[in-house]
Each structure stands twice: as structure tokens, then as C-alpha cells.
Amino acid sequence: MLVIGTGGAGLRASVELAEAGVDVLAVGKRPKDDAHTSLAAGGINAALATMDPEDSWQQHAADTLKESYLLGDPRTTEIVTRGAARGIDDLERYGMAFAREQDGRISQRFFGAHKFRRTAFAGDYTGLEIQRTLVRRAEQLRIPVLEGVYITRILTHEGAVFGAYGFDLRDGTRYRVHADAVILAAGGHTRIWRRTSSRRDENTGDSFRLAVEAGARLRDPELVQFHPSGIIEPENAAGTLVSEAARGEGGILRNALGERYMSRYDPERMELSTRDRVALASYTEIKEGRGTENGGVWLDVSHLPRQTVMDRLPRVYQTLLDLQMLDITRDPIEVAPTAHYSMGGVWVRPEDHSTDVRGLYAIGEASSGLHGANRLGGNSLIELLVYGRITGRAAAAYSESLTAQPRSAAAVAEARAEVDELLAADGPENVRALQRAVRNTMTEHAGVVRDEEGLRTGLAELAVIEKRMEDVGVHPDIAGFQDLAHAFDLKAAVLAARATLEAALERRETRGCHNRSDHPDMKEELRVNLVWSPATGITRESIPPVPEEIASLMEEVPTDGKLQE
């Protein structure tokens, strides 16, 4: 069994397979100790009812679907919210230390749009602790993990997977891995915007490209969550998050004129409004000329007691000190909306996250179905635990059902030739410059606010970039094969960008994270999922009705005093 990606989703699936006695290999291009999961700060959701006895999985599901603007899949939502408590139990079984009350109960806190306290946490390093816990469990089970290996293609024959092909980032060694099933857990596509909370080699759209080229489809690629507060400088760290706990603890947003502008957009909730509204407010201030010289706004916590900042926002304090030599107890932080989370992703079935390709599964941010048009804070971490377990079991059962596995020498030759051709490419176009061009196009034409003219301009610019890609030069050197990896990242970025632009053009409405200035209203006929592939373009997929036991609990949830992570 092959798992592509060694973040929380990939490791949880690997652990499930190993515990079931299945041979599994996990492959990641980043070191497993430093996967993207480790950056998640705020917490993980489960209706444990340790703090509020009235909480239930049904209420968790209702809150999730309400916040999805009714684009989330009710079946997926039920599976995640029903399985959440078991996900927490699994982490405890693996030895994770959650924050606890004095009597030993797991402590849970409010996050925005949750009716009850259901977010478990470990300081403001929850994702890091989950990653460490899963790495430790994988080591106990002696799961082999290949780090620094870039997968370039999922190998298929007659609609079924039989492995994957890739290369070592250090010395270019080729890898051909044969596997009964492949679980894709290689993240989303937020790196294709100029400002993003992802680091330079994370969430580059790899999952989208690998899945689509294997024969799978994408669902709702246009639904991308923009976090309201990413830093602007230094350039190599642009988009790094200032946790929304900064606003939750009393941080104030001001424009360049010194105005506390949230009073214009959400006078009741102010800075504690939902993520999509705050991001839109900041974007509007900047776009209308009330932003800073660098194109941002000010987030200020300097009026808070210094001890509050040190106790409640230690990671934010240290990050700004390290990156900007800025003491946030004295000075405001310059921030702007930043691409943060792919709520759409590979089309999967709700019951087991299988795809259109037999033996291929997708989980975590690579997949779709739970979040719809707005992700409820704390849900992404529990999703990867629930579906890591379920999909691991499903892949093991699929493997057991096979009596034989046909392979294709032609598929392997094609994968090998793709790498060979790029290595031989010696054109004048620079891969990194083209990546930057994609990010500029997406930022200008498919950012927080979109319109028909801008999206069509974006598609025209993308066509030019695709033409220029025919003349790239790829030049590995003594330092390694990163340039080859960047060339594949560019392929992924262009595919993900095209899917996003085409789906954003088709969704002629404003819903959650998707703001169309030329279509400001939500439209009932567009309460559908948009499914994309190069062969079919955009098709509409209906969403099953919400079960009555969940629908009856859906209501507007107050956010007073709740963190908006």
C-alpha cells in the first residue's frame, strides 16, 4: 500500500494500515516532522461534551453545514462528526497530551460559529502535537517513510492504480513503487496565490494534478478560504499567519487612516466576525485606497496587557519577533488576506473517500466534501483523523479483494519519459518566473473578490503561461533536483489554476468565501457542487438533502468571546 504525503492525513492512514497488518510505504517530499499539519495552531473539533453536556454530534454537524453555506455534503459531515470522538480517542491512545481541566477532563474551548465548546487543543501548537504523536506512532509500528521523494505520476492501467513513479530530490534517483492501492494525502493548492499561509513547497496543487492525470475529477476548486491576517513582509514569508486568536483576545483592525473599519462591515461582531467577512472587509479597505503603502491593514494587540499577549499568543509573539524583529506588545502588525485552505479538492465518495479511479483514494486537504464554501475552524484536523482511519480500512479491504493486479509497461515508460523530457529541457523560460506569473494571475483575478472580466482575463493570461511552458529550461545542480521539482510544481499550479478559474467563472453568485462583485447574491440554483476535469469541463452535481435531525438544529450561532481560528 502506498500513501503519498506524510502530514497528519497520510500518517493517520499509514498507522491504520499498519495496525491492520498491511504492508505500507509512506512517501513525502518534506521531512515528516515538518509537514504542513504542524502549522495548525488552534485546535481540533469533537462533540465530547466535556465542557457543555448539551453538545452532540448532530449539533456539530448542523454548525458545520450551516457554515458551509449548504455546499457541504451531509453524508460526509455526518461521518466526520459521528467519528470525531473516536478520532480524539485514537490520539489519546497514541499518547497525545491534550490540555485538561483540573479534574482530568479534556479541556475544550469556543471557536467561531460553534454553538458549544468543542475544540480540544494543546496550547497554540495543536497541529504540531498531532503531527509529533502520529510520527511517534508510525515509528513504533516501524512504518517505512521515504522523505525527500517527489511523486510525479500515479501509475494506472485500465482505470485502476498499480503504483506510482517519482524521484529523489537530493540525487535524482528514480523510484517506481508498485502498490495495490494509493492514498493521496498531498494537500491542496493555496500556494498558487502570491500571499499564502503555505510554505514555498507546500500545497502546490500536486494532489490535483496527480489525481486528474490518473483519471479522477476535482470538486469545487474555486472554493478557497482566505485567512484575514497574513503578514506582508519579509517577502519570503509573505502570508505567514497571525493566528485569529489575536482577534479573539481583543485585537483591533485599523486601516491606514486609523479607522476601526469593522464597524462598517459587521458592527455587532466587529473583529469577531467570521473569517470570510473579515477577509472581505480588509480586502475592500485595501482595494478602495485605505490600506497601507504595502497593501495591508493594521492588526493591533499592543493595548492588551503584556502578560496576556505572552500567555495567550506566544506563537504570534515569537513569529513576529523572529521574522520582523517586531514586538507586538508595542507595535501593530501589518497584515492582508492570504490564501489559506482548499475547501474543494479531489472528488471522492463520502463513505470511504474513493475516487473515480479504482484503488485511488484522497484524504485531508487533497479531498473535498466537508467544508463547502466556508470551513469551520478546527474541523480540518478532525477530518484527517476520521477519514485517515476509514480510508485506511477501505484501502486494505480493496487490496484483499484483488486476485491479480495487471500492470502496464507503457504507463511506466510514459512516466519515465515525462521526467526525461524535463531533464533534457534547455529552453529560455525560467520555471520559477512562470510560477510567479501564475501566482500573480491568481492574485489579481481570482483572489478574495472576483468578476467575469477578471476571470476571463486570468484564463487568457494562463493560456500564455501554458504556451511559455513549452520552452522551459530545467537545470538540476550539485545542490539537488529542486529545479525538476519546481517544474512539476508548475505543471500542478497551471492545472489547479485552470480548474479554479473555470469553476469560479461558472459559479455566478456570492456564497461564503466566493465573492462575485458582478453577482452579489446567493442563488438557489447554484447550491450545487461544481465538478471539473479536463475532459468534461464543469458539470453540476446535486447535494443530498440534510437529514431532519441535523436540519432542525441549524441556526445562527453568536460569536461573542469566541476565537475565530
Catalytic residues: 275
b/e map 103-115, b = 16+ CB within 10 Å: eeebbbbbbbbbb
| 423 and 476 Cβ atoms separated by less than 8 Å | yes
Distances (CA, A) of 243 to 227, 246, 313, 337: 9, 6, 8, 12
Helix ranges, 262-313 (H): 262-265, 275-285, 306-312
Cell of 412: 511506466
Grid cell 492582508 in the structure block, residue: 336
Grid cell 497584515 in the structure block, residue: 335
Strands laid side by side in the 25-28 sheet? 145-147, 25-28, 2-4, 182-184, 360-362
Q: Can you give the C-alpha Rg of the chain in angstroms? A: 22
Enclosing H/E stretch for 339: strand 333-342
| 366 and 5 Cβ atoms separated by less than 8 Å | yes
- Which amino acid appears at position 313 of this protein? L
Rounded to 5 degrees, φ, ψ at 550 are -95, -45
Which residues sit opposite 367 in a β-bridge?
346
Q: What is the 3-class SS of 129-185, one letter each residue?
A: HHHHHHHHHHHHCCCCEEECEEEEEEEEECCEEEEEEEEECCCCCEEEEECCCEEEC
Nearest-angstrom CA–CA distance, 313 and 381: 20
Q: How many helices (H) and strands (E) does the chain have?
A: 16, 23
Cell of 530: 461544481
**Cβ neighbours, 10 Å, residue 132:** 19
Distances (CA, A) of 173 to 151, 176, 475, 555: 12, 10, 16, 55
Nearest-angstrom CA–CA distance, 314 and 245: 11
Distances (CA, A) of 282 to 227, 228, 337, 402: 10, 7, 7, 53
Q: What DSSP state is assigned to residue 227?
A: E
Q: What 3-state class would DSSP assign to 449? A: strand
Nearest-angstrom CA–CA distance, 437 and 457: 13
- 433, HSE (Cβ side, Cα atoms, 13 Å): 9
- Residues in Cβ contact with 166 at an 8 Å cutoff, skipping those fewer than 6 apart: 27, 149, 150, 151, 152, 153, 174, 175, 177
Beta strands per DSSP E along 64-110: 108-109
